[in-house]
Structure 1
């Protein structure tokens, strides 16, 4: 059963005093791509800042991130997750960090910073000169020491005995950081440091050493006479099974390779761990250099360096103005992704990407997502689970042609952080939206209820038959309700029905246009142009009547709201937009009709 994050709670970080994010419908599962959508100003970056402020033993935020700039407002981050169906809670505050004991965490965000430097010259003429820089990225805080050459084919054969030539060369295995990681993660590896398992292995080794012949003859003898005994040792069998996907070795050769790793661990477990750390570092450094070179479209004059300095591995970039915005953002993103690969360890990890995708063009967006996919697949290959959380203010439709797209329900989940209130999900209008294509209602709901029409259409019987609100069965009674909710929305009432407010906006816009028409044109407006508000407004402008720009812009809201989308919380998506002050301002300028 995959791990599931149920809730994330943030307290006293930037503009958030306390906010609990609930992740259900859809669930937040490991190794899925998760889009966390909310408007600007909601607090997405505060969520990222909380994770980015995790220290080994506590949650320490910078003074500039303190809620209301008050040091008395102590920050707190809490994660509730389900492991094997069992719900568990970990937290971090100024006194502890339980989160990092369970999840390794990495945050990717903008690294652009302004820099001012005084011009040279006479002091009275000196002026600060501004530039935009990309902060160097420390990929590895402490480069591991290069270990000695402790593990060689000759040393393994000599240690084995007179028949050491039977052993396969494990040089390639020792250079494979992925395999080494899996070996060192085996639950029973520690048993090779105990005498009990060697009481079973040593007699087999002695029996092989008692034989003579070529390497092939010794291998054949071992397969025929000792393979069953080797397979009966569960710790050795678990180790041998790891090699199956990494080589073309025969079964008996895999067990002899496993023997060498078991002996290396028994003789010097620390040296084996140091060897793995060094190989992992070299592999990661190579991937980083190659990846940055691959995404650098102008290597002849844009120098992105990856170098070791003062015991750290640093990625350095030229001044930001020397690159296009898209190239700059992609390079920095890839570098931070490589840093995350170095930082994220263990069985569970959280990767937070704070709005980086929001400012990439389509090609760079696809490229960035390609590298993220490879990153996640590499993490999964280690048998681990990762939660990639992409914070965005964009409509999820932007990602529909990508791995995060709406057509990829198996690998992505969309979470709308700014959830619509219960009043926006009332049975009434939400139910009407769902059944608007019903054969019995289609001729009436669109024309008389969701669009303006001067005729008070009576469909009380049809509403009753479809379990809709009977009190809304007459279209003008329905108009009265939506404008009542529209007034509440404009004043910022917490219990306003946003769906109703959207309907009211459309009715107000169409009524405003309708009132300016001649009688014959009014009939055409309501009865001929039935495909949508855009068509109606185009007709009005063709007659020489000016339609306010805001009336067309608001169509982006009510057109989406009044057309049901399966398996997508479209209501919350639109509500988050309607809470934007600019949108609320445009809505407030609409003329509310006094009669219908």
Structure 2
């Protein structure tokens, strides 16, 4: 009897999707209920994953009889392309609304290795991000986070001295910079070189495997090393253009400028862009995701640590 009831619900589900997936239908096989795909070669791996996911959602709907329910979805998003990610997202929302119409509440828990940014399109008021890694995480000093917030609040209001001098490489670091950034550099005794040396010390602590270091400072020093690398390989005239104009707008622009003038650089400079770019851009109102957690999985990856170590120590990379 139970199988028959479930069979009818699957018939209704896949019947409504017959224009999307033809030849997909439920089938009773002995005492089991299966979903049969008549021609699996006509479907992509992602589409097959979505069909299985839909079948599992329907199974969950049939057995969740309580007013309050929890549904754990493990890694479904980790292996989907953009189109099937969108489809899975749609079916989760539809599943939630179906249960709400039955006066039930469902709390989906999505287990994933993906960066939380990947789920930005989920409703903000209902999305909560938790990290299940029990190890300690790198910290980010409030002093540097405050500098980032000030920078964001001043965007579009004139010269961006914080980005130009503090968050990117510049040459030379002279007293005129200290005058431009009196307030921002107070904690570093009003000197830009003290700030840069502080970031370098945090990089050293990270590479030594110390348990506490400023993760954002590591990102700033990584940028410093990468931009200095290409700057040092430009001729004197081109160096004068390095800090002004469109090419000065960011690390990527500076790398493109250098490449345009026959300066080659290791591919790791581009590969590591999420490390040295993402954490240094926060919301204009000062809101930010948990930078420590976002950086944790990246900075503690041994391959990434190895690339960063070679760049920070000036070791030539093979590619």
Same fold, TM exceeding 0.5?
yes
Alpha carbons of structure 1 residues 319 and 354: separation in structure 2 relative to 1, 3 Å: farther
Q: Please list the CA deviations of residues 67-89 of structure 1 after superposition, one character each: whole Å capped at 9, or x if unmatched.
A: xxxxxxxxxxxxxxxxxxxxxxx
**Which ranges of structure 2 fall in alignment gaps of 5 or more residues?**
315-319
Q: Is the 8 A contact 2:96 2:106 kept in 1?
A: yes
Higher relative contact order (CA 8 A, sep 6+): 1
Identify the residue that residue 114 of structure 2 maps to in structure 1.
394
CA contact (8 A) 1:418 1:576 kept: no
Instruction: Give the structure-2-normalised TM-score.
Output: 0.83
Deviation string, structure 1 residues 341-361 (Cα, Å, up to 9, x no partner): 123221222111111122222
Q: Note the alpha carbon deviations across 1:302-326, whole angstroms, 9 max, x for none.
A: x54331633x544455796674202
Aligned residue among 91, 96, 99 for 1:376: 96
The structural deviation recorded for 1:365 is: 2.2
Cα deviation, residue 293, structure 1: 4.3
Alpha-carbon distance change, 429 to 513 in structure 1, aligned in 2, over 3 angstroms:
same
How far apart, in 2, do the equivalents of 1:445 and 1:431 lie? 11
Q: Structure 1 pair 446/567, CA: closer, same or farther in 2 (3 Å)?
A: closer
Paired residues for 1:190-339 under 5 Å:
282=5, 284-295=6-17, 297-300=20-23, 303-307=24-28, 309-310=30-31, 312-316=32-36, 323-339=43-59
- Specify the SS of the correspondent of 2:281: coil
Alpha-carbon distance in structure 2 between the residues aligned to 1:298 and 1:382: 27
Q: Is the 8 A contact 1:419 1:576 kept in 2?
A: no
| Greater C-alpha radius of gyration | 1
Of 546, 558, 569, the match for 2:276: 558
Deviation at 1:396, TM superposition (A): 3.6
SS of residue in 2 equivalent to 1:386: strand
**Aligned positions, number:** 306
- Which residue of the other structure, out of 503, 507, 523, is the alignment partner of 2:240? 523
Residue of structure 1 equivalent to 2:214: 497
State the match for 1:545 in structure 2: 263
2:165 is the counterpart of 1:448: yes
Counterpart for residue 581 of structure 1: 302
- Contact in 2 for aligned 1:441/1:462 (Cα 8 Å): no
Find the aligned partners of 1:373 and 1:504 in 2 and give their Cα distance. Answer: 42
- Mark the runs of 5 or more structure 1 residues left unpaired by the alignment: 1-142, 146-280
Structure holding more helix per residue:
2
The answer to which of 333-342 and 573-582 deviates more is 573-582
Task: Tell me the CA shift for residue 582 of structure 1.
Answer: 2.1
Shift, 1:452, TM fit = 0.6
Contact 1:561 1:570 in 2 (8 A): no
How many angstroms apart in 2 are the aligned matches of 1:320 and 1:495? Answer: 51
Contact 2:26 2:33 in 1 (8 A): no
Report the Cα distance in structure 1 between the residues aligned to 2:311 and 2:206, rounded to whole angstroms: 13
User: In 2 relative to 1, CA 499–388 (structure 1 residues): closer, same or farther, beyond 3 Å?
Assistant: same
1:429 aligns with 2:149: no
Quote the residue 1:179 is aligned against: none
Q: CA distance change for structure 1 residues 471 and 419 in 2, over 3 Å: closer, same or farther? A: farther
Aligned residue for 1:492, secondary structure, equals: coil
From the superposition, tell whether residues 332 and 422 of structure 1 become closer, same or farther in structure 2 (CA, over 3 Å).
Answer: closer
